[in-house]
């Protein structure tokens, strides 16, 4: 005797389970959150360690440091990375390694010196902090300024003949100094960075100090920009570093300034051009205020090409 199930008509199909209702469309994945970039900082003459974040350019960086230590942003002359010393090789420029320790050098004593320009060149290389202060980055051996012991690397130039230059860019200050007449004395008002009690003069080398932070070797940097947001980028390539160094040397030779950020911008611009004429046109459009002479632009283009060949 067949079971009831077996008595079902031949060929009949068992009922199929109904398909589940379509699920609502899944929302697109949220963009990956950008990690917070938090940097450690101290005042170079000595302070507790503070933490800062949320800046996109040098002015905002100074404002964050000032807020962390309860001082005015205008008190900060410049910053160095991974060393509290007045070391121009470690000067903060347009890039900060993500693990770098920032030391802020603040205003110390003001001094006035009288200088007589007996030669065309004073022997000064000027740079600026990107926030209104121009300062001395290098003093040439045997130069007029080298013979004046009161003038030191790291001193901010506040006035020339009582004319304030606060807010002027480095190339403007260098031009003012070049145009001073020979054989006539002039006065420089300088502000030196505040020094810790154990700091040795900037004209001499000091031994390693426990205040000096460990230099790290992170592969990414925060690129600060004068216009627009800061970006996290890979560290510069060997070619970019070599080309920027050569361009910075030319800036010093032609204009009496050093500016790694400006040099880096010029190298970046060269990568988007195919000829020296196109390069010159682009420089005029983005850096026109510098009024670079034609022969300088040609030398920069050649130096970048030589760096590219040297680095393969």
Count of alpha carbons within 13 angstroms of residue 101, beta-carbon side: 16
pLDDT at 110: 97
Same domain, 171 and 296: no
Range of the domain at 101: 38-193
211 — pLDDT class (breaks 50, 70, 90):
very low
Mean pLDDT in the chain?
Answer: 83
Average pLDDT value for residue range 35-41: 85
pLDDT at 292: 92
Residue 10 clears pLDDT 50, i.e. is over it: no
Residue 174 Cα distances to 49, 137, 162, 214, angstroms: 35, 12, 16, 34
Same domain, 165 and 248: no
Residue 187 clears pLDDT 60, i.e. is over it: yes
CATH code for the domain of 51: 2.30.42.10
* Total domains in the fold of the chain: 2
Indicate the range of 71-75, 105-109, 198-202 predicted with least confidence.
198-202
Same domain, 179 and 94: yes
How much is the pTM?
A: 0.75
Average pLDDT value for residue range 209-235: 60
pLDDT at 46: 95
More confident residue, 198 or 27: 27
Same domain, 60 and 134: yes
Residue 214 clears pLDDT 50, i.e. is over it: no
Same domain, 140 and 86: yes
Average pLDDT value for residue range 160-182: 94
Same domain, 111 and 187: yes
Question: Using one digit for the tens of pLDDT, what is the confidence trace for 234-292?
Answer: 778 999 999 999 999 999 999 999 998 899 999 999 999 999 999 999 999 999 989 89
Same domain, 92 and 185: yes
pLDDT at 11: 40
Same domain, 120 and 248: no
How many Å apart are CA 222 and CA 237, to the nearest integer?
A: 15
The answer as to whether 230 is a domain residue is no
Residue keyed to tokens 């950020």: 261
Contact 60, 225 (CB under 8 A): no
Q: Which residues pair with 40 in a beta bridge?
A: 51, 101
Q: Residue ranges of the alpha helices (H) in the chain? A: 58-69, 170-179, 238-255, 260-270, 276-287, 294-310
Question: Using one digit for the tens of pLDDT, what is the confidence trace for 125-134?
Answer: 999 998 999 9
- The closest of 234, 242, 226, 233 to 286, measured between CA atoms, is 226
The answer as to whether 6 is a domain residue is no
Same domain, 168 and 288: no
- The closest of 203, 217, 230, 226 to 147, measured between CA atoms, is 203
pLDDT at 231: 73
pLDDT at 12: 40
Residue 264's region, left for phi above 0, alpha for psi from -120 to 50, else beta, is alpha
More confident residue, 27 or 92: 92
pLDDT at 216: 43
Average pLDDT value for residue range 169-195: 94
Strands 39-43 and 101-116, how do they pair?
parallel
């Amino acid at each position: 005797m067949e079971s009831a199930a077996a008595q079902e008509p031949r060929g009949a199909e068992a009922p199929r389970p109904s398909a589940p209702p379509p699920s609502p469309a899944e929302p697109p994945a949220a963009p990956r959150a950008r990690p917070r970039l938090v940097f450690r900082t101290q005042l170079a003459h000595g302070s507790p360690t503070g933490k800062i974040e949320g800046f996109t350019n040098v002015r905002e960086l100074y404002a964050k440091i000032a807020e962390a230590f309860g001082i005015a942003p205008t008190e900060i002359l410049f910053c160095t990375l991974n060393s509290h010393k007045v070391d121009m090789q470690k000067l903060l420029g347009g890039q900060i390694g993500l693990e770098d320790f920032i030391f802020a050098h603040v205003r110390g004593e003001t001094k006035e010196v009288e200088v007589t320009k007996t030669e065309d060149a004073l022997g000064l290389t000027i740079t600026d902090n990107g926030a209104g202060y121009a300062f001395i980055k290098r003093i040439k051996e045997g130069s007029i300024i080298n013979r004046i012991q009161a003038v030191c690397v790291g001193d901010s130039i506040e006035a020339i003949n009582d004319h304030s230059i606060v807010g002027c860019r480095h190339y403007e200050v260098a031009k003012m100094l070049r145009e001073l007449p020979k054989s006539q004395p002039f006065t420089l008002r300088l502000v030196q960075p505040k020094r810790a009690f154990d700091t040795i003069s900037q004209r001499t080398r000091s031994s390693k100090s426990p205040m000096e932070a460990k230099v790290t070797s992170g592969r990414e940097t925060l690129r600060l920009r004068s216009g627009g947001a800061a970006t996290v980028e890979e560290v510069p390539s060997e070619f970019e570093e070599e080309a920027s160094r050569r361009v910075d040397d030319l800036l010093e030779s032609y204009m009496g300034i050093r500016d790694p950020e400006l040099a880096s911008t010029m190298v970046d611009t060269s990568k988007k051009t195919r000829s020296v004429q196109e390069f010159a046109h682009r420089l005029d459009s983005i850096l026109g205020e510098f009024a670079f002479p034609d022969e300088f632009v040609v030398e920069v283009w050649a130096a970048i090409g030589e760096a590219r060949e040297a680095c393969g």
